[in-house]
Structure 1
């Protein structure tokens, strides 16, 4: 039933998009015509209201509506309103929605090279450097082209925060993961990364994680701090390990045909608004994650375990075979992207 609804929505929206495309082209030749009637673009993301992705979307909405003097309006749809992350990626690819934020977990089967962000201890431990890296590394240009081949034009990359482990027991070394059933997104690289520790990675839809933890169907999960707090995972978990093993990376994209339909002036406005949102979200996600960590400490009995550099190094060494798996599974281009990124990481962390 949901699929039929989505298909119907897709067809109706495609008609709308094609009509809107004509309007944009006409407006390109007549500046006054651009402001006569507002055009509405749909922007879907994979998180709940108030999350990092939602704040990014709201900042972009504010910026583009201001830059176009209201000629463009943005309707923001959080996760669940247009389906889950996979549904939203499909709608975006097909042009049923114009804009969206996705992550390697939901787009990894379409753009397998992007699974490199699921590798552990890859990006710098300094968030400012990580933010700079995902926006300036040459490796990202190769990834952007891979997205474009799948009908998605990348407009920005941004770290949402370091991912942390929560569990029903304390985890401070790889051996503690032996037989541990951890909820992950459905990604071969994520699964392989946890298998290197001896864990049992278990893909479960995001909105079902709380109940799965509550019913002891899984032993733990992994997410940024803000998500752990807003989804109240601290109510059904005893420990949170500040592991910093990976950064959850968001990708702001547009449907490629929609992007091509825009006038040059409108594209510049969109790029400028995206740059504003990308710059803004660095500080916003830091503040959000810090605030949510304090909230967890104040409102729960969850024990916070901060891994030492030596403990992280043991996990890093154990996880390295997952990098080989990534290259073997996804091929030469994936290997080149990984090598380029590692080189840039080495430069930026000197």
Structure 2
């Protein structure tokens, strides 16, 4: 049944992709994103498109497929491995069933709170672009870049300041074993739901809260159906742009260099976009809903959740094995040296 469903999804995607007119002379690279037009991912894809098309004098064109156009984020990853599309930008949380080792970036309180330090790690980490990329390549994927969309923020129907407040609280999370473990350890009842169903679930009370960066909360109007925005400092929303190895490995060295250098040169651009989006979207939320409650947990309050989260690292090692343990050790060393 699963193989039939996958075949139908692949056929549907192929039909959609086949409707794009191609120039007789241009290569058309297809770039899927899991967010809507006007989002951070859209800004990234649009800038990449502009730079590539300019550098190649139009010999390469890029078509962008926003949220839902080609199916779920997991579908687009499979399409990249199958060579139907060239790039997809997905949140790490959506890769849990494909590359379990990647869930290291979902571990709570792993990253420092300084945005520049986080950007430096995600842009330059040897652990990511050498060690972890080996695990991606085993699944037919090439890691081209990673960046953060900013700190994760809880939107909830009540104030949450300690694990007891999470009792019988249904927190929507992405379908990731580590996220399920994270919120279970924090005291909540984690509830995986497709992204497109979150607003309705909050509105109807099927879930009591969800977690996303501020720009996503504003774009998807989650603040309209919740009462609190809570900064607990536990995670960054890390996203990655990947390509299928079957396609990427067939590119000429010059084309591979073009892709890598273009994305490497965009770290400053996307950092500025993320900072701008987070501030402006928060201003919009406060303007549209002045009565919204903004809560920033104190360091003492965060330490309680931090202590409860230690078991999540053990769960990651259990799921990713000795390989995960090795990656966690080397990444923590990199983070410590970067944050000195």
TM-score of the aligned structures, taking structure 2 as reference length? 0.93
How do 1:163-312 and structure 2 match up within 5 A? 163-300=152-289, 301-312=291-302
* TM-score, normalisation: structure 1: 0.90
Match of 2:112 in 1: 124
Q: What residue number does 1:79 align with?
A: 67
Inter-CA distance 187–171: structure 2 relative to 1 (3 Å threshold): same
* Aligned equivalents of 2:90, 2:50: Cα separation in 1: 20
Residue range with higher mean Cα deviation, 2-11 or 310-319: 2-11
**SS of 2:34 mapped into structure 1:** coil
- 1:7 is matched with 10
**Helix, strand or coil for the counterpart of 1:212?**
helix
In the alignment, what sits opposite 1:347?
337
Q: Deviations over 1:120-166 (max 9, x none)?
A: 11011001101111222232121111111111111111111110111
Q: Unaligned 5+ residue runs, structure 2? A: none
> Using a 3 Å threshold, how does the CA distance of structure 1 residues 204 and 13 change in structure 2: closer, same or farther?
closer
Number of residue pairs matched by the alignment: 333
In 2, the alpha carbon distance for the partners of 1:138 and 1:202 equals: 34
Residue-by-residue CA offset, 1:30-53 (whole Å, 9 max, x unaligned) = xxxxx9811111100111111111
Alpha-carbon distance, 1:346 to partner: 1.6
Over residues 9-66 of structure 1, what are the superposed CA-to-partner deviations in whole Å (9 max), with x where a residue is unaligned?
56679999xxx9xxxxxxxxxxxxxx98111111001111111111111111011111
User: Residues 89-108 of structure 1: matches in 2 within 5 Å?
Assistant: 89-108=77-96
Contact (CA 8 Å) 1:43, 1:98: kept in 2 or not? yes
Q: Judge conservation of contact 2:170–2:189 (CA < 8 Å) in 1.
A: yes
Measured against aligned partners, the alpha-carbon deviations of 1:300-348 in whole angstroms (never above 9, x if no partner) come to: 1211111112211221111111101111221001011111111112222
